Chains A and B, each alone.
Chain A
């Protein structure tokens, strides 16, 4: 594949990310200077004026580089990706979070890994050397590690970070995998990568760092754990 002809569509679902979306757009442009890309912002009717900020960014960077494709209300992550995919003109699609836990500076390493290996999917992993997490206390790390060991034992997924959502897909691969996924939330991310693995797609990993600025405000409670276990059982039975 001729590297010069590649175009990367970056889908960023947003909800009340008025400040973060501007910062992310700046950082993407900073770290992808010689790459053909577009940013597709799928905003779910944010009341904080996120869309106004995106319009200002469009004036600055160009409407061909920043696409605003909003929806009326919060409709979930999976459908946000499907919605964004409809407008993606690149042959590769990157998905990432809008809260700056995913840093655009890793884009070059995703792209490089894909070009080197010809992989269908490159997924960011926080759990290997070179990667890492900041902002998690011991309890959080323990549940994360426990959850990961359980998932590895039960699912044999072929990746070290199942719930991560910083990924580069070949567009055709994303379209194929996403059509067969039905879960919500982070189980959706797990379902995507497990289904891709089962279908035999070539998946590579790159280390990423994850700065959790949201964790302090959200607890990882019993209901999350139950959700997770249900998700694991669902994936064991259906993939």
Chain B
């Protein structure tokens, strides 16, 4: 099944749940009508939270740049000795 169809089925399921809640009147109708909005807003907030948390915890590796420079120097030395042209960029 294509992924968009999976998402669509999920949406249909949630809608069916919402409609049955409307009909069953367990929750006051005024609240039930607003549930989709709550859902979308929560989803949006969750998304923003995930972006924010991910950004704060974004792994960085400044030491890798240094190590890379060392590796480059080592490689250039070796290759120059062996006659490979490591001249220009």
Q: Is the CB of B3 within 8 A of A134?
A: no
Inter-chain contacts of A75 with B (CB < 8 A) = none
Let me know if B28 is at the binding interface, CB within 8 A: no
Tell me whether chain A's interface is mostly helix, strand or loop, or mixed.
helix
Tell me whether chain B's interface is mostly helix, strand or loop, or mixed.
helix
How far is A181 from B66 in the complex, measured between Cα atoms in Å? Answer: 37
Q: For residues 41 through 66 of chain A, which have their beta carbon under 8 Å from a beta carbon of chain B?
A: 52-53, 56-57, 59-60
Let me know if B24 is at the binding interface, CB within 8 A: no
CB-CB under 8 A for A26 and B7, given A146-B51, A239-B2: no
Let me know if B26 is at the binding interface, CB within 8 A: no
Inter-chain contacts of B50 with A (CB < 8 A) = 149
Identify A132's interface contact among B7, B54, B60, CB under 8 A: B60
Name the residue on A nearest B52 (C-beta): A145
How far is A237 from B2 in the complex, measured between Cα atoms in Å? Answer: 6
* B 60-89 binary contact with A (CB < 8 Å = 1; else 0): 111011001001101110110011111111
Number of interface residues of B (CB under 8 A): 32
Q: Is the CB of A133 within 8 A of B59?
A: yes
How far is A238 from B5 in the complex, measured between Cα atoms in Å? Answer: 10
Identify A134's interface contact among B47, B51, B60, B78, CB under 8 A: B60
Q: Is the CB of A132 within 8 A of B59?
A: yes
Let me know if A182 is at the binding interface, CB within 8 A: no
How far is A198 from B72 in the complex, measured between Cα atoms in Å? Answer: 39
CB-CB under 8 A for A142 and B59, given A23-B76, A134-B64: no
How far is A103 from B58 in the complex, measured between Cα atoms in Å? Answer: 20
List 7 additional contacts besides A135-B65, A149-B50, A149-B51; criterion CB under 8 Å. A22-B84, A103-B64, A141-B55, A148-B54, A154-B7, A211-B64, A237-B3
A: which residues have CB within 8 A of B?
Answer: 18-19, 22-23, 26-27, 52-53, 56-57, 59-60, 100, 103, 126-135, 138, 141-142, 145-146, 148-150, 153-156, 198, 209, 211, 235-239
B: which residues have CB within 8 A of A?
Answer: 2-4, 7, 47, 50-51, 54-55, 58-62, 64-65, 68, 71-72, 74-76, 78-79, 82-89
